[in-house]
Amino acid sequence: MKRSVPLLALGLTVAAATTLVAQDMPHVHKDSQAAPSSAAAMRDSKLTYAKDIAPLLAQNCQTCHRAGEGTPFSMDKYETVKMWSNNIKRMVSTRRMPPWYEDGTTKKFENNRTMAQADIDKVVEWVDAGAPQGDMKDMPKPREFVQGWSIPKPDAVFQLPKPFPIKAYGLMEYQYVIIPTGFKKDTWVQYIEAAPTDRRVVHHIVTYVRVPGSSYFKGVPTNMFFTAKEAEKYKPKMPYMVPDMAPDTGTDGKPTPQTATSKGGGADVPSDWLVGYAPGQTPDIYKDGEAKLIPAGSDLVIEVHYMPNGTATTDQSRIGVVLAKGKVTKRAMTLSADNDKFKIPPFHPNYKVDSSYTTPEDMILVGMHPHMHMRGKDAQYRILFPDGKRETLLNIPNYNWRWQLWYNLAEPIKMPKGTKIECTEHFDNSAANKENPDPSKTVIWGQQTTDEMMVCMFNVVFDAKFTTKQILRPAKTKTADKAPAKPKT
Ligand code: HEC
């Protein structure tokens, strides 16, 4: 049952895995237009929008709630904010906004979005007082956002060859495009971002680095859109997942057409995860001296999953990279501990699946990203050091598959060779799970959100002298397994 698969060797298993969010965003309730509370019932408060609330919304909400970000409303005008004020109060006081699902019992996370209780109280008090505007002279300077990018100005941008048409309704196959980087020498990238041009319809993007000599989609022309099925006419050497990684059958009894991966290691590694996009995800940003590697002559393989939203549109997503300045001593990589061998019985309310990964060399853990679909219930990452010490790193008691978030450690953790990352995820296949499309189904691994995935991604950095081969070689060390401690689950 337990398997550890470095993401590189996994290739598109995880590409497929990053099936996310947008599909059917919860209904937007405009209950703010409901009968305003009578003046008599209103609370007394000195707080005003201009002075007290606008700065809080700018800081906590505007990264997403601004024009062009695919959120239901922008928080740049008093009138709009006032109209939504009852919803804002509800979402903030129940901590459903800003989105953040780890429970605060484990580590500190540098990208933690939770609002301080005192700030939540202010918002509530202000809304209860009738959301007064105050003196607009008190307004903070508007927060500035680089249009389209949240990383510094990219040194190189790789964009889909043309605007891709997205129909108004229906399901769409994953689209792939191979874009040559044109990099003549090994290139280290420190900031990486995938940016849709129409965020309302982009369900997720995954970008891989395809090194020269890789057989991943080999023979498929570059700079054009294709689906995994269309790739077949070029007889690509490795369009699908290797059999030992794919489940035997798909949900309809037919083999599940997973996409490429390799048996792992060496030049035949088809792809290296560069960056993903999903609503709420932040770009990949590394410290000075740390970066991801794009070897000379590599291509980018971009996978985009579009989700029609009722209005036909186009999107021409792009990937931006900022080159590392100065010497890079640590290489960053995205790896994953997955388990694709589960079979969730019908109506099971709490089905447990484990996975693990043991470090083949010394590494530093910098971030974590659990991934499940509609039946995902909770997730936990633990670490087991070679000396037997075990610790919980991340605890997500109420997983929400609509929010595919990374949890980046405020203090990265040193993992000596032989350290084990253990991951446990539970699935709720009961009828009580409102998201469950069909509790009577036995659920196995698959790409669609109505299938499941058990994926525990994580970012590591390690000495740049190690080759990809060394890092992807499965660890022989069994130290961690012999350790006496038992996981507390
Ligand atoms: C990471 C991006 C992000 C941040 C940060 C964020 N939101 Fe949202 N918000 C969204 C998205 C996307 C939606 C629409 C989907 C949904 O409702 O889940 C949304 C929906 C909402 C809604 C409508 C929900 C409903 O059903 O009525 C409210 C109200 C809201 N957000 C308030 C806030 C407030 C207040 C903050 C800051 C304190 C905030 N959000 C921060 C992304 C964000």
pLDDT tens, per residue, the chain with 489 residues? 333 333 333 333 333 333 333 333 334 444 444 444 445 567 889 999 999 999 999 999 998 898 877 788 999 999 999 999 999 999 999 999 999 999 999 999 999 999 999 999 999 999 999 999 999 999 999 988 777 788 999 999 999 999 999 999 988 888 999 999 999 999 999 999 999 999 889 988 989 898 888 878 889 999 999 998 898 888 776 653 322 222 222 222 233 332 223 232 222 334 578 999 987 788 999 999 999 999 999 999 999 989 898 999 999 999 999 999 999 999 999 888 888 889 999 999 999 999 999 999 999 999 999 999 999 999 999 999 999 999 999 999 999 988 889 999 999 999 999 999 999 999 999 999 999 999 999 999 876 778 899 999 999 999 999 887 777 655 543 333 333 334 333
- Residue 16, Cα to own-chain centre: how many angstroms? 12
CA of 144 to the centre of ligand 1 (A): 19
Determine the residue of 27, 69, 91, 309 to mutate for testing ligand 1's pocket, defined as the one with the most ligand atoms within 8 A of the Cβ atom.
91
Kindly report the protein residue whose alpha carbon is nearest to atom 35 of ligand 1: 88
Provide the whole-model pTM.
0.80
476 within domain boundaries? yes
Phi, psi dihedral angles at 162 (to 5 degrees)? -160, 165
- Ligand 1 environment, Cβ below 6 A: 25-26, 28-29, 60-61, 63-65, 71-72, 84, 87-88, 91-92, 97-99, 113, 115, 279-280
Structure tokens at 24: 């059917």
Omega prior to 349 cis, within 30 of 0: no
381 within domain boundaries? yes
- Residue 291, Cα to own-chain centre: how many angstroms? 19
CA atoms of 350 and 375, how far apart (whole Å): 10
95 within domain boundaries? no
CA atoms of 333 and 331, how far apart (whole Å): 7
CA atoms of 39 and 16, how far apart (whole Å): 53
Per-residue confidence (pLDDT) for residue 238, from 0 to 100 = 61
Number of structural domains (the chain) is 1
Per-residue confidence (pLDDT) for residue 245, from 0 to 100 = 28
Phi, psi dihedral angles at 259 (to 5 degrees)? -105, -170
Per-residue confidence (pLDDT) for residue 258, from 0 to 100 = 28
Contacts of 424 (CB under 8 A, 6+ apart): 352, 353, 354, 379, 380, 382, 487, 489
Kindly report the protein residue whose alpha carbon is nearest to atom 1 of ligand 1: 280
Kindly report the protein residue whose alpha carbon is nearest to atom 3 of ligand 1: 64
Contacts of 241 (CB under 8 A, 6+ apart): 11, 12, 13, 258, 259, 260, 261
CA atoms of 226 and 218, how far apart (whole Å): 13
Q: Do 129 and 43 contact (CB within 8 A), yes or no?
A: yes
117 within domain boundaries? no
CA of 302 to the centre of ligand 1 (A): 28
CA of 98 to the centre of ligand 1 (A): 6
Q: Categorise residue 307: left if φ over 0, alpha if ψ from -120 to 50, beta otherwise.
A: beta
Residue with tokens 């590599």: 298
The H or E element containing residue 203 is strand 202-210
Residue 284's Cβ-count burial label (10 Å; 0-12, 13-18, 19+) is buried
CB atoms within 10 A of CB 67: 9
Kindly report the protein residue whose alpha carbon is nearest to atom 28 of ligand 1: 88
129 within domain boundaries? no
Q: Which domain does 177 fall in, by range? A: 7-24+148-482
314 within domain boundaries? yes
Structure tokens at 218: 């080999």
Per-residue confidence (pLDDT) for residue 16, from 0 to 100 = 31
CATH assignment of the domain containing 378:
2.60.120.230
CA of 193 to the centre of ligand 1 (A): 21
> Which ligand 1 atom is nearest residue 70's CA?
12
Nearest to 362 by CA among 290, 320, 418: 418
Kindly report the protein residue whose alpha carbon is nearest to atom 15 of ligand 1: 25
Sequence-ordered strand ranges (E) for 252-348: 272-277, 284-285, 290-294, 299-306, 313-315, 318-323, 330-338
CA of 18 to the centre of ligand 1 (A): 21
Q: What is the number of residues in the chain?
A: 489
- Whole-angstrom CA distances from 113 to 27, 67, 483 are 23, 20, 35
96 within domain boundaries? no
CB atoms within 10 A of CB 23: 18
307 within domain boundaries? yes
> Which ligand 1 atom is nearest residue 84's CA?
29
CB atoms within 10 A of CB 145: 14
Kindly report the protein residue whose alpha carbon is nearest to atom 31 of ligand 1: 97
